[in-house]
Chain A
Amino acid sequence: MVNKHAGISLLLSFFLVYPLSLFASENPVVSMTMLPTLAYRADTDVWMARMPASLSLAIPSANKGNVRGEVVLKASTPVTITSLDDVVHKAYLKAKFPSFRLTMGKTRLSWGDGRVFNAADVLYGSSDTALDFTQTELRNMTTWMVSINYPIDFFSFAEAVMMPSDTTDPTDMTFGGRFYGTIQDIKVEGGYATKRESGSRVHKPYVSFQGSFGPDWYLSSSLTIPVTGDIAQSTLTSWLASAGLFQYVQLENDRSMTLRLEFLLRPFGDWDLASALDNKNCALLLYPELNYAISPSLALSFQSILSPLDLSSKSTIGFSWNVFEGFSVLGYGSVTSGEAGDVFSWNAADSFSLSVGTSWVF
């Protein structure tokens, strides 16, 4: 009898509290993308047909008060989910105190500038080439963290972050901080992070600048300094620089074009054309991007990561047509070119693929 009452109470509580909790949040936002794909793998001479789909559900808190937060659940096929953490893309709160702001939970901090290459992204790393150009956000990794943002003046701030250890070992924790401000007409950012990478602790200082001389430009540089081994040599080898140019061009008949060119440079990386390169020590990589807007709702794009040393590349052409409110038709064709041992190779996964699908936000 007691149990029955307890069950009814629980149910009643649920129905009473659930609507209240809904009123305390904004309407959830659902995004779904489905991209039926035909792919060819040259090394095994196999054609594959699949339908990658991704779904995200964002539940933000009400847009008022001194505490805000959001939960974003994300899942995609064919990725296998092994834990709740795989589904929870974001789950954080932000609390605004009189002189600083606290962020706690799973979210992202974007340090530095760069769509594909960003040497200043010392927290997550933006130098690898394993990118999927069919995604809107190319770098969207999130982690659990505690962060404090301290405004210095209206347009500059200092930020500190602590990311807990994945292994429960306190020595695996990540700590970092940055300053963001402007000097004259140039954005200046400088920071530092210390974390465990490949089994040992490293220190990662960085600087980042952004300005405009017609086209907008950005430039970042970072080092990874180990605490053991040949520190000087490892530090030199780790030197990473990235830069980018971005220009918007208005064309006839109100068409427009955006051009972006980024490069990633490892001055002490592997410049040897004869050796087998890999993207972790390749000295130079380029990212050209062109978006041609035929109208505000229809655009064509070209994106490529190019290794100029071995002339290998991974390129994607695409179109995006925003047909109805929140609904778009998308299409992509991707091809990898290069020989065995190059940074990109035709004889690797998805030598060629063709996708046409839709995305919807509601």
Chain B
Amino acid sequence: MEFTSLIAGVVLLLLLLAAGAKGWLTSRQWDEVTPGGDDEGATEGCPEEFLSRIFLRGDWEFVRKLGAGGIERLFQQERKRVALIWVRQTSAMVKRVMRAHTQAARASANLEFSTEIRILGNFVTLMSVCGILATAIQLGGPLWLNGLAHFAHRLLQQLAKLQESMQAGVLARSESGGNT
């Protein structure tokens, strides 16, 4: 009985991973054919008001009222793609912030333990949320994930602020060290 549950668990996990990977690849293909599709080099985050456009149900209600199956399917397909692109972009930004943080931390002589733990905690949470979002979007579309998407957005902003203030501190110390 326990062995069967284990097997079922592993199969479920593999299915979830496959669904997540499929979504990731779909978003990448879509991204490659559109101008400006390089989210690694993205210079600005997605403004919060657009996040609601992607994840809220307003447009879906409008499409549903039309009563056209083909357009409903197109809508679901399109929103899924856009949402996955947003997840990939968010995850790329998290990684970029962490790279910048690692560099700043190397240059810093006196790291604050509590700040480092908070940054690490935010990083791990964000990467997990991005993974969950990618899989959930692939399985059920983005329209029930507005809360989680906004949570990830705010956490990314917090992480970026923490990293910026930490980097500013490192710069200020190195400048005052250089002046003395």
A and B physically associate: no
A contact residues vs B (CB 8 Å cutoff): none
B contact residues vs A (CB 8 Å cutoff): none
